Amino acid sequence: MNAASGEAWQPSPRQIAEANVTEIARRLGVADFDALQRLSVEDPAAYWKVINDYCQIVWSKPYEHYADLSRGKQFPQWFVGGELNWTDSVFAWGKRGAEKRPAVIAESEDGSLTQVTYAELQQRVERFAAGLSARGINRGDRVGLLMESGVEATISFLAIAYLGALVVPLFSGFGSDAIVSRLSACEARAIIATAGFHRRGKLVDTSAVVIEACKRLPTVERVILKAAVEHSPQFALSEAWSAIEQDAPAGFAAERMGANDPFMVIYTSGTTGKPKGAVHVHGGLPLKIAHDSAVHFDVKPGDVFFWPADMGWIAGALIICSTLMRGATLVCYDGAPDFPDWSRMSRLVERHKVTQYGSAPTLIRGLAAHEALATKGDLSSVRLLITAGEGIDPDHFLWYQRHFGRDLAPVINYTGGTEVSGALLSSVIAKPILPTAFNTASPGVSVDVVDPQGRSISETVGELAVREPFVGMTRSFWQDDERYLETYWSAVPGLWLHGDLAIRLREGGFMLRGRSDDTIKVAGKRLGPAEVEEVVLELAGINEAAAIGVDDPVKGQKLVVFVVPSDKAGADIPKEVSAHVDVRLGRPFRPSHVHVVAMLPKTKSSKVMRRVIRSLYSGLPAGDLSSVDNEAALDEIRRVAPAANG
């Protein structure tokens, strides 16, 4: 495939007229989305007043002021004087005629289905929260959550917030060390976990890891364990998940919370050091995601939202809030996306009449490599597509649009991260969208691209920066203000530097060029890994690619590329790749080495782990490997590393 030049997608007059952002612009009294974007940055108080109304956010006590910056822009207080428990905004949909609407539909790998309506979800969350309270879990307590996506995980997540406690999401592939490091750091009192789940028909036992972790967690007093099919272990601290809500009364009231009271501590692995615990508050992440769901994903009440995601990452919170804060139906799937074959995703879309479908680029590449099977299901219900998690090349962006979106549904590129709740950059349905690009900064976020001195730049690679505080930004890292300030605010005084390389486009909008710490600088010339990978993926014989910079005494760094071949690969892949990069990017960027591997190290959310690749290849300590989903890929990198070859 070759990427088409020009605009990838143009909205129809009807799509513009019916878009949520068009109605929001009307309520703001502005002519179009561009005017909405300007107002959102120039007068965020007025903007968020309208967003609160449009998204029907439920406040138990109205807020008095939009923000208090008396501690500096690094430590804002949002919606001062207001009180809300964000779960009230979910359950309010049951009082707006949606009580019989499915809130969550969960499909297991074996095809079995479980679902709850909005009315049933509220009743079960009330009872589960009451059961937790009866067992001594209260406001402010930290509770680990290690579960596969589904009805039980959604109930657990909501119930913890309903109680005023703090959820600590844990990746389902974590080992005991990763669990211990996170739950000990925040002194968690309980863990809600699954005993196991199925992948490609085989049981993945998570209970043994949880049991081992508990031996090293003196603060953990309770483990609530959801049984898996044919696997229901019990141990000293454990109690069955199903028992928690059995004898608990309905009607248990949600805890009244301040807008700046935390509801989640979510850990993200850094390049160095211990994982960072981003703190999110009731008046922050849920409101930001309700906003993004309306503005970027165009979710309307009654829509059906499906984005396969592990509950242990920020995407788990994102899919729950994106759907349930907007009165839509959340579809969950806890199995492998290619089981029993590559038609599974499109069959799920067909079965549940999905209107918004989200995917990581790695999965999109897998779908494209198996096009005939991947598109077997009826995709006509899809109104909008989402890609997030890492950069996507133009060819696969357009494949996704054409084959999953039928050239009618736009592809919304979405980037932000754990520390910012949702989007810094994304796209909206009311404007043209270029392949791989973001057609806007997220409204309410003062995004810029800057040089090392913090000066605005255009049409050249710079650091993605935020000039003003924004709703959804982490309150800080858990009990570590110093590290929070050092991570985001220390490089250029007064600017949040997010750690991404970006380009502000002449046409408007932005493109990302990889992470700052992944930057490759060859003979003084800087480029992001995404630039190289996009070029390499133009070759029909390549399924996946990763580019890294390795220290070199002459050039400063040399470019090394790793590729996973397809069945169309030629006889001499390294030569073909090197020649193609030479032609497309220029002789200075010709790779010094091209290595063919069977797989690349990834997280379960399908992000390629360039940091790990670079460390292993360079013979350096690999750092935190707890989020690696395919450990066999580490051996692939070690196999081709210089140390392994003399």
For the chain, the residue count is 646
As a three-state string, the secondary structure of 235-278 is: CCCEEEHHHHCCCCCCCCCCCCCECCCEEEEEEECCCCCCCEEE
Is-contact 104 116, C-beta < 8 A?
yes
As a three-state string, the secondary structure of 605-636 is: CCCECHHHHHHHHHCCCCCCCCCECCCHHHHH
With vertex at residue 379, the alpha carbon angle to CA 378 and CA 383, rounded to the nearest 5 degrees, is 150
Placement of tokens 């829509």 in the chain: 303
**Is residue 291 one of the residues assigned to a domain?**
no
Query: What is the reported pLDDT for 1?
Result: 32
**What separation in angstroms does the CA of 466 have from each of 46, 54, 395, 502?**
20, 25, 30, 12
Is-contact 475 279, C-beta < 8 A?
yes
Q: Which token pair is 508?
A: 């408007």
Q: What b/e readout covers 451-485, taking b as 16+ CB neighbours within 10 angstroms?
A: eeebeeeeeebbbbbbbbbbbbbbbbbbebeebbe
Is-contact 121 329, C-beta < 8 A?
no
Query: What is the reported pLDDT for 553?
Result: 67
Q: Which of 464, 469, 426, 427 is nearest to 447 (CA)?
A: 464
With vertex at residue 435, the alpha carbon angle to CA 371 and CA 312, rounded to the nearest 5 degrees, is 70
Query: What is the reported pLDDT for 646?
Result: 58
Structural domain total, the chain: 1
What digits encode the pLDDT tens for the residues 110-143? 999 999 999 999 999 999 999 999 999 999 999 9
CATH of the domain at 526: 3.30.300.30
**Is residue 278 one of the residues assigned to a domain?**
no
**Is residue 137 one of the residues assigned to a domain?**
no
**What separation in angstroms does the CA of 143 have from each of 7, 135, 140, 187, 219?**
46, 13, 9, 9, 11
Q: Which of 34, 20, 33, 10 is nearest to 432 (CA)?
A: 10
Indicate the pLDDT class of residue 248, thresholds 50, 70 and 90: confident
**AA identity, residue 317:** A
Q: Lowest mean pLDDT: which of 97-111, 225-239, 386-400, 615-629? A: 225-239
Question: What pTM did the predictor assign?
Answer: 0.84
**Is residue 63 one of the residues assigned to a domain?**
no
Q: Which of 287, 268, 288 is nearest to 279 (CA)?
A: 268
**Is residue 606 one of the residues assigned to a domain?**
yes
pLDDT higher than 60, residue 545: yes
Mean pLDDT along residues 225-241: 77
**Is residue 302 one of the residues assigned to a domain?**
no
What digits encode the pLDDT tens for the residues 98-109? 899 999 999 999
What digits encode the pLDDT tens for the residues 165-214? 999 999 887 778 888 889 999 999 999 999 888 888 888 888 888 988 99
**Is residue 539 one of the residues assigned to a domain?**
yes
401: buried, middle or exposed (CB in 10 Å: 19+, 13-18, 0-12)? Answer: buried
**Is residue 568 one of the residues assigned to a domain?**
yes
**Domain hosting residue 541, numbered range:** 519-645
